[in-house]
Structure 1
Amino acid sequence: MRFSLVVPTLNRQVEVEAFMQGLDRQTFRDFEVILVDQSGTDLFDDIVARYGRKWPVKHIRSDVRKPRHACNLGAREAVGKLIAFPDDDCIYEPDTLERVDAYFQKTDDQGFITGAVLNLDGAPTAMGRWLKQSQPLDRHSIWTGLIEFNFFMPRDLFEQVGGFDENLGPCTPFGSCEGPDLALRLMSAGAHGYHDRSLLVRHMDKSATINGARAYDYGTGMGYVLRKNHASMRTVLTFFIRPLGGTFLNLLRRKSDQATYFFRTLQGRLAGYFSTEARRIARHTPRENIS
């Protein structure tokens, strides 16, 4: 088996159906899907039965409603040489897996690869700032070059670093940046990363005016991961200054909703960076790979 695709989901039948339809259009077909179902219902039984006739589908039920716990749970059942963790509401382009396979064939299954994001209409995403060209990743560019649902790696490397940090992501105190954290730990273990602009996955755009609570929640994850992985002062200042600038710029433009979003993002990043948990784990994390 070449690919194991671990998909955590909770009550999103329509989205999972669309994801499976995208897989049915893949030009590369050597994969399994591990659906980690946190719904506690039989909502996905029909989807599992229908698509299980096309490729292997493992249906794992979990009582823990925590996406990165679900990823680690599903990964323990994976048999593919390569592993990925697509969101249940993303859609692969027809050549996504073919491109990933070609990359790892060329590199002898070393390191990891990530790519770009399109919205569901096929246009460039409005979700944040992203690298404009294909390039190797370092501990600074990882923050604008990686997205969790378009992130592929050898399964043995994922297992070597202990999988996802389950204290990160939705339903945790630190609500984002599980992907950068995993990638930074892969780099610390000696893996190289690459951002391929032609490796595309579709995902619904998130509103630029998400509420302040969610902005704060996302911010705490970034702050925690920056501190945990001993980010350089250049990286820390970059991601503290940007929301500060966004706050003042939008106040001058009298865009109060946007100003609130940037301010709450800054508050969250500061809270995560200076949290007791971030300080504690940073003391026990080696510093030799600081960029």
Structure 2
Amino acid sequence: MTFSVIIPVFNRPLEVRSLLESLYLQTDRKFEVIIVEDGSWDTCENEVKAYRSKLDINYIYQENSGPGNTRNAGCRIALGDYFIFLDSDCVLPPHYMSIVKDRLSKHYTDAFGGPDEAMKDFTRLQRAINYSMTSFFTTGGIRGSSEKLDKFHPRSFNMGYSREVFNHTEGFSSMRFGEDIDMSIRIIQAGFTTRLVREAYVYHRRRTTLWGFFKQVYNSGIARIHLFKKHPHSLKAVHFAPAVFTSGVLILSMLSLLVSPYFLILLFLHALIIFADATYRNKHPTIGLLSVGASYVQLLGYGIGFLHAFILRMLLGKGEFSAFQRSFYK
């Protein structure tokens, strides 16, 4: 097989430079790279030029159309038999491509996904956000790493599928959020195989501010209801957990004000567990403290977005929407 690495970009030139450097440092560099600039005003054209002599790289610019359509644009010019999609804020360990090729040669699958980890040079807040997205005590258990190896639902920050999959499904939908889960559902419905490759992890920088992180997870909560409208079977009881948590926080906060402050003990214990676990995992109490804040931003942001969309779409019959229209990239 031949491989094409497709990267949608929206105003992130410095992150693209780090990603391209990690691609250049791969132990196996037999692949092409396609950068699709999605209407950026702060382009990465200079970063691409710096790596033209080091990588087999293609660069195209298009009007802003969202990450799904941007990935499809890359697929249409790709020469490879197998497409790998990466978010521009990811960095690859040197063995990433060799592991993907090895696993696909031994246990071929039509589509695969891999997990994400925090790099040692990430800021403390980035490590805290990474904890909140992967921890059992937040929504980490809902995300991809907990799913079965087979019939895995890959996420677009670290995902690949064959040209045959693209030709059959016509690629990602035009959904602004949740387009990767929608894609995974359609891949499985079409009878293609999917698999989690745990060893093919990436370092994911994610958002660098809590407000940016809140916007991301808020829209993720909204996207879960949009996905339900397209694929009713995709909504599981576990997806209600952040909304239930958000409602619980509101109720406990009201009871603490109206009845007794002791109702906040449950929230304090939950926060203490997160602090202890994050401190142990990151070997740093400051990251543990930041992880408490990031975890509550994640749970409440997702929960509020979920409830927002549930009320508008399920109860009031409104159409598809997003709360932060320009936040197309996770």
Superposition TM-score tier, normalisation by shorter sequence: 0.7 to 0.9
Report whether the alignment pairs 1:62 with 2:62. Answer: yes
Evaluate the alpha carbon distance shift between residue 267 and residue 211 of structure 1 in structure 2; reply closer, same or farther with a 3 A threshold. farther
Report whether the alignment pairs 1:270 with 2:310. Answer: yes
Tell me, which stretches of 5 or more residues in structure 1 are unaligned?
170-175, 279-291
Q: Which residue of 2 aligns with 1:173?
A: none
Letter in 2 for 1:126: S
TM-score where L is the length of structure 1: 0.78
CA distance, structure 1, for counterparts of residue 97 and residue 313 of structure 2: 36
CA distance, structure 1, for counterparts of residue 192 and residue 145 of structure 2: 22
Identical aligned residues as a percent: 22
Evaluate the alpha carbon distance shift between residue 165 and residue 132 of structure 1 in structure 2; reply closer, same or farther with a 3 A threshold. closer
Q: How many residues of Structure 1 are paired with residues of Structure 2 in the alignment?
A: 263
Evaluate the alpha carbon distance shift between residue 215 and residue 104 of structure 1 in structure 2; reply closer, same or farther with a 3 A threshold. closer
Evaluate the alpha carbon distance shift between residue 32 and residue 243 of structure 1 in structure 2; reply closer, same or farther with a 3 A threshold. same
Instruction: Give matches, 1:47-86, under 5 Å.
Output: 47-86=47-86
CA distance, structure 2, for counterparts of residue 266 and residue 42 of structure 1: 32
Encode CA deviations 1:160-209: one digit per residue, 9 max, x unaligned. Answer: 1110011x22xxxxxx2221111110101111211122221011144677
Letter in 1 for 2:225: G
Q: Which residue of 1 aligns with 2:203?
A: 202
Q: Which residue of 1 aligns with 2:222?
A: 220
Evaluate the alpha carbon distance shift between residue 96 and residue 268 of structure 1 in structure 2; reply closer, same or farther with a 3 A threshold. farther
Tell me, which stretches of 5 or more residues in structure 2 are unaligned?
134-138, 254-263, 272-292, 321-330
Letter in 1 for 2:115: A
Letter in 2 for 1:182: M
Evaluate the alpha carbon distance shift between residue 119 and residue 49 of structure 1 in structure 2; reply closer, same or farther with a 3 A threshold. same
CA distance, structure 2, for counterparts of residue 150 and residue 223 of structure 1: 23
SS in 2 for 1:198: coil
CA distance, structure 2, for counterparts of residue 126 and residue 190 of structure 1: 33
Q: Which residue of 2 aligns with 1:281?
A: none
Greater fraction of residues in helix: 2
Letter in 2 for 1:184: I
Instruction: Give matches, 1:1-291, under 5 Å.
Output: 2-39=2-39, 43-108=43-108, 110-121=109-120, 125-127=131-133, 128-129=139-140, 130=143, 135-138=148-151, 142=153, 146-166=154-174, 168-169=175-176, 176-206=177-207, 214-231=216-233, 235-249=235-249, 251=253, 252=264, 253=267, 258=297, 260-271=300-311, 274=314, 277=319
CA distance, structure 1, for counterparts of residue 144 and residue 9 of structure 2: 28
Tell me how far 1:261 sits from its aligned partner.
2.6
Evaluate the alpha carbon distance shift between residue 38 and residue 78 of structure 1 in structure 2; reply closer, same or farther with a 3 A threshold. same
Letter in 1 for 2:10: L
Tell me how far 1:147 sits from its aligned partner.
2.4
Evaluate the alpha carbon distance shift between residue 67 and residue 272 of structure 1 in structure 2; reply closer, same or farther with a 3 A threshold. farther
Tell me how far 1:59 sits from its aligned partner.
1.0
Q: Which residue of 2 aligns with 1:172?
A: none
TM-score where L is the length of structure 2: 0.69
- Mapped contact 1:112–1:194 kept (Cα < 8 A): yes
SS in 1 for 2:77: coil
CA distance, structure 1, for counterparts of residue 144 and residue 213 of structure 2: 26
Encode CA deviations 1:24-74: one digit per residue, 9 max, x unaligned. Answer: 111121111111113566843332223121222111110224222211111
- Mapped contact 2:115–2:145 kept (Cα < 8 A): no
CA distance, structure 2, for counterparts of residue 272 and residue 51 of structure 1: 47
Tell me how far 1:158 sits from its aligned partner.
2.1
Evaluate the alpha carbon distance shift between residue 10 and residue 212 of structure 1 in structure 2; reply closer, same or farther with a 3 A threshold. closer
- Mapped contact 2:118–2:205 kept (Cα < 8 A): yes
Tell me how far 1:91 sits from its aligned partner.
0.8
Encode CA deviations 1:262-282: one digit per residue, 9 max, x unaligned. Answer: 54133145258635557xxxx
Tell me how far 1:10 sits from its aligned partner.
2.2
- Mapped contact 1:216–1:268 kept (Cα < 8 A): no
Evaluate the alpha carbon distance shift between residue 80 and residue 268 of structure 1 in structure 2; reply closer, same or farther with a 3 A threshold. farther
Tell me how far 1:137 sits from its aligned partner.
3.6
Bigger shift: residues 43-52 or 192-201: 43-52
Evaluate the alpha carbon distance shift between residue 43 and residue 209 of structure 1 in structure 2; reply closer, same or farther with a 3 A threshold. closer
CA distance, structure 1, for counterparts of residue 78 and residue 112 of structure 2: 19
Letter in 1 for 2:306: L
